[in-house]
Structure 1
Amino acid sequence: MGVRLTRKDAFVDTALLQFIFPFSIKDGLRDELREELLERGYQPFTLEDRSLEDAYYGEGYRVSHQHLERYYLPFTGSILFPDRHSASAFQRLSRVIEEGYELSLGERSISFCVQSVDVVICPFDLGFITTRVSIEEKLPYSLVLEFADRFRDLEDINSRDEHTSVRRGEENYGQMEEFIFKKVAPGIMPYLGTTDLDEAYYETLPYFVDERMFVLMFCRFAEGFAIDSIDMYRALHLDGMNENGEPVIGSSNPDFIKRYCDQHVYDRWSPGTVYGANEHTFCCLTTTEGRRERELAGEMYGELYYGLLLCLFHKIVLLKLSSNYSTIRLEYDRPTVEKLIRSITNLSAKYYFLEIASQLKGKELFKMIRRSFGIHELYIEVKETLGELYDYQDRTDAKTQNYLLMLLTLYTVIGGIYGMNQVIEDLDGQIDWRAMLKYSLFEHIALFVTLSGLVIGFVLAVVVTKKWLSDYIRRRNS
């Protein structure tokens, strides 16, 4: 419950927002999704194409591809900015929209423009939809926060959301989910994986974090405005207005607000520019104008956007692997266990980096974001899971090999010493099947052991070959 603020609300001269929705892609449909997006006019994003530097961010804003490449370490850049289509890297496809809409909050409407949309296809069957929005008017800070909070709610989960809608002429979208998947990014819904929702009662989309989108927010106040801990706390929690249209904040304890900001705020350039991050918001509040403002906004669209995507990717994949471990049945799902081991090993070897950026600002910011997401704790848990899976697999393999060795030993002893001496002469050359009718009981046993041993050897050879081919195919596709 928010606490009403008595201080006067400041006005925001520039408000640029990006809303990120993570989703699961149905198994094996990543390439089909990419082809669908290309047919719908999406363009693959590459650093080589310099014409894209100012294509998706609105008038006056651009992202330097040269700076973007230098911002990240080489092994990170190869994942974020592949020079060709690769299933093992991030594949960003973007589309320009530049259409104006109104967000109705009940008694008040806010004009905004959807600049563009990204669909980023990632390894581990994960994807992100990023909707870039700019608010077209100068608004009080509380109203900007309320806009962001309402926009990020994909589904109506409380009475307040029931009064929220997006309008443009005759078009009217009662839920943000409807607006995103029917207008902004149509055609994606058939590719959304829903396997994680078998036991869900209320959710209709495969969320990994919660039922809301993640928010990147850039706000510029008038020069001379002093950004304080209350402004940052409200930004991180998107504390906008109450039912009466009054500014609110989610805490009444100044000491708590200060302690929270000490952990979640990066104030190296305070009071002119301050960054903050928590589990659902990453924001930059500034009072700088002109060229410096455009540079900061470009970083939020470029360098910091990609770093945040990578942090979200780490968190969601780790959550997904932890969830998969909690649902498998070790005794019966051996292929699933092996797939989970490969996935954890693959993530650890290729995608999990402690250092992401080459510049100090990026290192410190991403370290704060990772700490806010709890990524390191999740990674330690997954690594412990990997150790448990290896121990289980070693015990199971040892037990299986013992049983197999015992069976083969019995067949070798009986078939080699007893069976081969009893019936081997009748099985040599032209087989006289009529002679077998005169066999004694022990000779029939020897014949059975000999023939069944041959069958078992053939079956084992087929099983081993099939398993090897299956493992080879899975390694190629992973």
Structure 2
Amino acid sequence: MKGSISMQHTDLKEKQVSKALFQFIFPISWKAGSSQHLIDYLQTHHFTSFQLNDLKKETAYYGSYNVSHSELESFFLPMTNTILFPKTTQQKGLHRYSKNLNLNASMNVLTTQTPFQIHSVDVFICPYELGFITIRAEINHLPYSQVLEFANYFRFLVSTTNVKQTTEISFNQNTYSTVGDFVFSTLVPPLQKFLCKKTDSLLTPNKMYVHSFVSFQEEEVRVPMTFDELSFSIFSNDKQIENTMLISQYYGPYYYSVIINLFHQLVFLKIAKTYSEINIDEATNEFERLNYMINSFTSNYFFNVFPAQTKGQELFKQLRNSFQIDHLYTNTKETLFSLFKYEENIITKRDSLLLLVLTLYTVVCGIFSMNLFTHDLKGTIHWDHFKSYNPFEYFAVFIVFSGIITILYLGLQSLYQGLQKRKSRQRWVRESVLLYKKYKLY
């Protein structure tokens, strides 16, 4: 099937699955200036901010499993600890809001009915008007082919032409013809008024990233972790102690590793898309905005170091390779260099033109104009004298006063542009650092 996840390429087709856990991750883009309203809206619908110091949340969102917050925190030292786990909305970072659900539903594909559980849902509000929705699902005691079929169909928010006539989700005596209808009607509140469609052209439209954990009953099953650009799958045997530890990592450090790399990929793709849409002759402010975006992102959110733990380093390297992060970073550096050269040329030309104009006015006024009529400006001005001026003297008057007007205009223009740039920079800071109520310029 087109778009199926990487699990189907293994030799496990009809093995019996004891449990399958899924985290379906869908990138979103929220409208500029709506972040605080979106947070208020989520909180009114019982979403709570995820905080590492709230140990009750270790067991709140993962069904019968738990996540160690201390292990989650130590895993990402010294890299992105504060970025991934901001303590307040005034801190820069990826802000996670979660809601416990624990509901049961079923997916019907042709004659196959697959029961599943939804444990919880996350909404990430990230800098640069980006974010993610994560849906945690679980399936138990089914053939591997049926588990794979569920993942391949559930990942599409909007069904394709071939899938539309055959797939539906049943929940609480209601039937939904698409996964998107089920998600936005039942799992998360209607967020459409806060969202825009900028993200659709960055990643595969209406298709969720699949992060999965599959445990088989057969002990002889031996399959590595598998990666591709749309999925990250972990396979295991049905050993209770080992599985409990691995699932804790799956919901904790592994999940956040996926989120941070998805965020990096999304920002890099947004930078490339924004750069390609700029009209080079009319968008000086957009060039400055993009320049600021690149520099603030690479200084605040993108790191070329890896987690301190050896296992974390290997995981991060594989995820970065699957998301082509290094390639995207190289392209972004080239974009930044192009922006720098373009802005340097614009400033040089503008300064040269300004210097030429001021020089001409200074020379003409100093040598020609001021010597012709400044004696009439001393003391009381006799306006009748101006009537007797010859053409050269009138030209001198024009040069002097037009020079004064030009200087005043340039001064006022510079002041206006400075104020506009200050406002723009304040807005860019709010977008990139997510300081909702307070912010300052660095």
Fold shared per TM-score above 0.5:
yes
Q: Does 1:31 align with 2:36?
A: yes
Q: Deviations over 1:429-460 (max 9, x none)?
A: 54443432332212221111111111111111
Please, which of 62, 67, 81 is the counterpart of residue 66 of structure 2? 62
Please, which of 331, 334, 349 is the counterpart of residue 281 of structure 2? 331
Please tell me the residue identity of whatever aligns with 1:20.
Answer: I
- Given that residues 23 and 208 in structure 1 are in contact (C-alpha distance below 8 angstroms), is that contact kept between their aligned partners in structure 2? no
- In structure 1, C-alpha distance between the alignment counterparts of 2:187 and 2:22, rounded to whole Å: 15
Equivalent residue number for residue 296 of structure 1: 246
Please, which of 111, 130, 137 is the counterpart of residue 134 of structure 2? 130
- In structure 2, C-alpha distance between the alignment counterparts of 1:328 and 1:104, rounded to whole Å: 46
Equivalent residue number for residue 168 of structure 1: 171
- In structure 1, C-alpha distance between the alignment counterparts of 2:244 and 2:380, rounded to whole Å: 91
- Given that residues 22 and 207 in structure 1 are in contact (C-alpha distance below 8 angstroms), is that contact kept between their aligned partners in structure 2? no
Higher relative contact order (CA 8 A, sep 6+): 2
Q: Does 1:14 align with 2:16?
A: no
- In structure 1, C-alpha distance between the alignment counterparts of 2:388 and 2:143, rounded to whole Å: 103
- In structure 1, C-alpha distance between the alignment counterparts of 2:225 and 2:163, rounded to whole Å: 29
- Given that residues 20 and 215 in structure 2 are in contact (C-alpha distance below 8 angstroms), is that contact kept between their aligned partners in structure 1? yes
Q: Does 1:121 align with 2:71?
A: no
Q: Deviations over 1:70-96 (max 9, x none)?
A: 001234111001122136311001111
- In structure 2, C-alpha distance between the alignment counterparts of 1:54 and 1:405, rounded to whole Å: 67
Please, which of 259, 262, 276 is the counterpart of residue 226 of structure 2? 276
Provide closer, same or farther for how the CA distance between residues 13 and 37 of structure 1 changes in structure 2, counting only shifts above 3 A. Answer: same
- Given that residues 218 and 285 in structure 1 are in contact (C-alpha distance below 8 angstroms), is that contact kept between their aligned partners in structure 2? yes
TM-score, length-scaled by structure 1: 0.84
Deviation at 1:402, TM superposition (A): 1.3
Provide closer, same or farther for how the CA distance between residues 208 and 26 of structure 1 changes in structure 2, counting only shifts above 3 A. Answer: farther
- In structure 2, C-alpha distance between the alignment counterparts of 1:5 and 1:411, rounded to whole Å: 78
Q: Deviations over 1:187-232 (max 9, x none)?
A: 3111112357xxxxxxxx565344310001011111513234xxxx
Equivalent residue number for residue 368 of structure 1: 318
Equivalent residue number for residue 58 of structure 2: 53
Moved more, 122-131 or 286-295: 286-295
SS at match of 1:156: coil
Pairs aligned (count): 423
SS at match of 2:86: coil
Please tell me the residue identity of whatever aligns with 1:300.
Answer: Y
Q: Deviations over 1:39-83 (max 9, x none)?
A: 221101111111111111112x11111111100123411100112
- In structure 1, C-alpha distance between the alignment counterparts of 2:423 and 2:9, rounded to whole Å: 60
Provide closer, same or farther for how the CA distance between residues 17 and 195 of structure 1 changes in structure 2, counting only shifts above 3 A. Answer: closer
- In structure 2, C-alpha distance between the alignment counterparts of 1:105 and 1:316, rounded to whole Å: 32
RMSD, matched Cα? 2.1
SS at match of 1:18: strand
Q: Does 1:416 align with 2:328?
A: no
Q: Does 1:437 align with 2:387?
A: yes
Q: Does 1:218 align with 2:223?
A: no
- In structure 2, C-alpha distance between the alignment counterparts of 1:431 and 1:23, rounded to whole Å: 69
Deviation at 1:20, TM superposition (A): 0.3
Q: Deviations over 1:113-141 (max 9, x none)?
A: 11111000111111000011112x31001
TM-score, length-scaled by structure 2: 0.91
- Given that residues 23 and 207 in structure 1 are in contact (C-alpha distance below 8 angstroms), is that contact kept between their aligned partners in structure 2? no
- In structure 2, C-alpha distance between the alignment counterparts of 1:7 and 1:16, rounded to whole Å: 17
- Given that residues 76 and 356 in structure 1 are in contact (C-alpha distance below 8 angstroms), is that contact kept between their aligned partners in structure 2? no
- Given that residues 24 and 206 in structure 1 are in contact (C-alpha distance below 8 angstroms), is that contact kept between their aligned partners in structure 2? no
Moved more, 168-177 or 41-50: 168-177
